[in-house]
Amino acid sequence: MPARVARLRIAGFKSFADSTSVEILPGLTGIIGPNGCGKSNIVDALRWAMGEGNARSLRGGEMDDIIFAGTTTRPSRNMAEVTVTLEDALGIIPPPLHEQSELEITRKIERGAGSGYRINGREMRARDVQTLFADMASGARSCAMVGQGRVAAIVNAKPEERRQILEEAAGIAGLSARRHEAELKLRATEGNLQRAEDMRGQVEIQLQGLQRQARQAARYRNISGLIRASEAEFLAIQHLRVERAREAARLALDEAKIKAAEAAEANRVAEQAHGQGHDILPALRAAEAEARTALERQRVASEQLAAEEARAKAAIGAATQRLEQALRDLGRAEGMMRDAAEAEQRLGAEDATLAAAEAEAEAKLAEAVAAMTRAAEVARDAEATAQAATERNAALTATAQAMTGRLSQAEQRARRVGEQVARLSIERDRLAQDLIAPDKLAEAKQSAETAEAARKEAAARLETAERGRVTAQAALTKAREQANTAEAAATKLGAEIRALNEVLSVGGTQGGPQLVDELTVPAGLEAALGAAFGEELSASAGREAARYWRELPPIDGSAVMPAGCQPLGEVVQGPPALARALAHILLAPADAAPGLQADLKPGQIIVSAEGGVWRWDGYTVRAGTPTAATVRLTQRNRLRRLREDGATADQATSEAKAKQEAAQTADRATVAEEQAARNARREADQAAERLRNTAAALATRAAAAEQRLAGVVSQLEAAQPEKTEADAALAGIREEAAALPDLSAMRAEVETARSALQLARREEGDSRTRHDGLTRDRATRAQRRQALAKEREGWAERAEAAKTHSADLDQRRQDAATDHAALAAEPERLATARAAQTSELAEAGTVHQQAASRLKTAEDEARAAEKASRAAETAQALTRENLVRAESAVEQANHAWGTVAERILERLGAEPAFPEITAEPSQENEDKARRRFERLTKERDEMGPVNLRAELESEEITRQIELIDREKGDLVAAIAKLRGSVGHLNREGRERLSTAFAEIDKNFQAFYARMFGGGRAHLALVGSDDPLEAGLEIYAQPLGKKLSTLSLLSGGEQALTALSLIFAVFRSNPAPLAVLDEVDAPLDDANVERLCTLLNEVVKETGTRFMVVTHHHHTMARMDRLYGVTMMERGVSRLLSVDLNRAVAMTEQPPPRMAAE
């Protein structure tokens, strides 16, 4: 038995503040309630628990918005939890929960902390929960969750988007997710393999570079020593030069200080003179200001007198204008009184004329009213006659038109059905020819199996080649390490040999080579021979040298020597010139030599192997004091041994390189073999995949062709009876159309009645026009008489006002004449006062000019003193600037000295040992030393970076190459495994999708016919031959219409067709729970009844439990139980439940009988 969703528990989710449970029992469960009370929040809670991760899909801005936000009386919650309970869930989930029959899937979210899943208390991943519901044909976005816009989404979706319906019905929604995950892993693994191969090539190139770097180290060290010596010489010259520059700067600073003091004294004297000149200026400025103030007061008084004179003249002009204006206004008032008298006479005459015309118009108006009444009665009779004729004609015309429409529709239907039968017959014949033969399918399958076997064989060859390459690479790595080791040893020996050759080549005398170079000294006796001879061995054997050895015969008696001693001439081979000396130098152990020193003959010396000397005359030298001869002899012996070791190392290097070249040849061969095997494997994979796809596509095409042929045959069988019915209907309608009467007589009657009606209406209009004209004339006369009365009243009022205004104007004329006489003598008085003021103004100007002249002279003298002060100040500033420059020069010299000292401290230490400088420390000598230092530094820099750790790094890179090879092997194995998994998932998905498509198409055709009460429809895969890539198209043919796609149907037909597809999916792959959120909103009552009937049938056939959110009363009546969502408390949703079956049973019980009274 499949798993069932039995219960939904909500706590703190959106408006459900308290814990609420919804029992999801078999049958139909309805969710009802007013808008905004929280019905859709139940659906959102179910979708959220099934894995919905998009907050906008849950009608929120962010995921924390689904937590109860609080109300005015309740605080907000910090947590929301939704639990879905599954029953009969044995084995639908992987271990360790696979043996539990009841699962509680809980999703919990905390504010600001995200959400998590638990199944029976155990934490789970969101992907696992989503895959679980997807395998059950359910989930947050599955076809089982039919939201308010789900039907419209199916209608408006592209065919490729509708394929998701098939995937969920086939139960491969989770399979698709796993296939996508496997493909992502495959691409990532192939990318990792390519990166590993690229990295190995880069590392090999890096290893070759490290080997070259090791050979540069010796040369680098030699040049570094020369650089240190040249740098010391350069810094010594530079140090001496900056010392001298610092001393010169100090002398210049002392001289600048003396000049600065002198300039300061001169500036002080000039400032004193400048101050005295400025002290007398304030008194002179005050006197000038007082004279200027007196002058300004006289000017202001003069301007005031001029202004008063102008105002007097203006007042006289204004009085003259007022007098003239009063005379003009008095004349206008008298003219207005005359106009009022004339208007009263004219308006009285017009009013008498209008009264006479009013009496004559009453008789004409009564006559016009009688004529208008008679014309209206005639028009009403004519209109009734025309209306009756028009109605009879319209009824007969409508009958004829309806018959014509029925005839046209019948002809179109007969023609359409005939064309459909002919098209289906042609389509049936074509599809029968397009059927793919079984032998062709078998041949394609056999080719795919053969290609698969070839692919496995190529994979085996590739694995063998990879193992061979790993072996060859290991051998090459070992040979390369041996060659590098041998070459490094030979390089090291060669560098030491060259260094010793260079050292030994220095020190030759002018007369020829030193005798020390002609000695053959056994190992260990270098110190003894050097201690015995010292600097004497640096002499030459040639007589032309300044110091040389002469060849003399042996001394008689020299063979007498102390016991335990051995002459050096017996163990050291040298030139004949040293024979006498070697015979007198005796070799003895260091501990016995002091005791034998007293027995020595004149000229004899005892030496020890450690370098001790005991001479015959008592002179003694302790062991451990090296000499130049000792060092040179040791270096020569070391050089001889190094040459022997170098020959051996060169031979070993040649042998190791030969082995390395052989290993490289073998490695290249294995690489080529592996690449060839890899190419063969790739070609075999491509061929196998291509043939497998070809076989699958051929099988799909064959199944599709058979399915299309069956569909066409069924459509043709259904179209034949429809064609017979359409032909019969067409014949009957033609007989009815032939029986209709002719319409010509009726049309003539209508035209006659309409002509009489027009004539009567024209006469009625003329009489009404005459009546309206007389009425308007009477009203116009009445209005004019009223206007005349108002005008006569207005003229009387204006005449009275003009009389009053005339008296006022006469008074104003008298007042203006009096003002004009009073102002006539004022201008003469003001002219006399202005002449006296002019004389006083001239005297004040003379006083001010004298004061200004004295002030200007004093200011000129002060400016001259100020200029001299500024010149002294400028001279002082110049000396100060020179002082600052001298101080800056001292500071720069000190800084330069500090920089050189810091560099010397950095490069040579706190107490540097400078070489002796014989030349003058000039810029030229410093440049020479610097160029020598830079040349050596450039020579070292041109070598490039020298890696002294090249050997260690090469070993590390070798280990890295081995690690990359091991990882490549793991990646190749993982790629093969992932490709096999993807291929298996693709094959399984195609098989299950093809099976589901056939079943859903069959169910869809049945549900469509039941939903529409007839008609035909089918599904088709379009866009690709591969079912996993093809889109789902819906073709429908309602009764009386032609076959078309879903987008060409009407809105109601689209909704019902989409619901038919949803029910077909339910039947083919029943989900444990289906949710219908107001899907009945766009349907009328009849279609809602059909929808509810189909719901009951689907429940009986599939066992799916439905949760229906609705507002429709028919849908509520068909539910098995109802949950009412209320919001008695604002912002908080609550649930009330009613079991309708129990309620119906209770109502059908007979009521209890009451006892008789």
- Residue ranges for the binding site for ATP? 34-41
Nearest to 508 by CA among 551, 545, 549: 545
Identify the helix (H) or strand (E) that includes residue 1036. strand 1031-1037
DSSP state of 1013: T
- What is the amino acid identity at position 282? P
Binding site listing: 34-41
- Please give the Cα distance from 1143 to 1141 (Å, whole number): 5
Tally Cβ neighbours within 10 Å of residue 945: 8
- Please give the Cα distance from 153 to 580 (Å, whole number): 121
Residue 39 and residue 31 in contact, taking contact as beta carbons nearer than 8 Å: yes
β-pairing, 1105-1109 with 1073-1077? parallel
Q: Can you name the residues that pair with 103 across neighbouring β-strands?
A: 86
Cα dihedral 445, 446, 451, 456, rounded to 10, equals: 100
DSSP state of 511: T
Structure tokens that stand for 556 in this block = 């008689």
Tally Cβ neighbours within 10 Å of residue 185: 16
Phi and psi of 589, rounded to 5°?
-65, 150
- Please give the Cα distance from 910 to 916 (Å, whole number): 18
- Please give the Cα distance from 443 to 449 (Å, whole number): 10
- Please give the Cα distance from 1016 to 839 (Å, whole number): 128
- Give the burial string for 42-56 (b: 16+ CB within 10 Å, else e): bbbbbbbbbbbeeee
Residues with Cβ within 8 Å of residue 627, at least 6 apart in sequence: 530, 531, 534, 535
Residue 1027 and residue 200 in contact, taking contact as beta carbons nearer than 8 Å: no
Q: Which residue has the tokens 């050089």?
A: 639
Residue 66 and residue 48 in contact, taking contact as beta carbons nearer than 8 Å: yes
DSSP-assigned states of every residue in 186-211 = HHHHHHHHHHHHHHHHHHHHHHHHHH
Residue 1038 and residue 1049 in contact, taking contact as beta carbons nearer than 8 Å: yes
Residue 1011, CA distances (Å) to 1052, 1053, 1064, 1101, 1132 in order: 12, 10, 12, 16, 39
Residue 184 and residue 152 in contact, taking contact as beta carbons nearer than 8 Å: no
Residue 150, CA distances (Å) to 145, 381, 538, 1058 in order: 8, 64, 109, 9
Mapping DSSP to helix (H, G, I), strand (E, B) and coil, where does residue 15 land?
coil
Residue 850 and residue 311 in contact, taking contact as beta carbons nearer than 8 Å: no
Give the chain's radius of gyration (CA, Å): 64
Nearest to 713 by CA among 438, 994, 430, 995: 430
Q: Can you name the residues that pair with 16 across neighbouring β-strands?
A: 13
- Please give the Cα distance from 1071 to 57 (Å, whole number): 22
DSSP state of 919: S
Residue 431 and residue 712 in contact, taking contact as beta carbons nearer than 8 Å: yes
- Please give the Cα distance from 710 to 856 (Å, whole number): 128
Structure tokens that stand for 326 in this block = 């009063």
- What is the amino acid identity at position 625? T
Residue 1071 and residue 1078 in contact, taking contact as beta carbons nearer than 8 Å: no
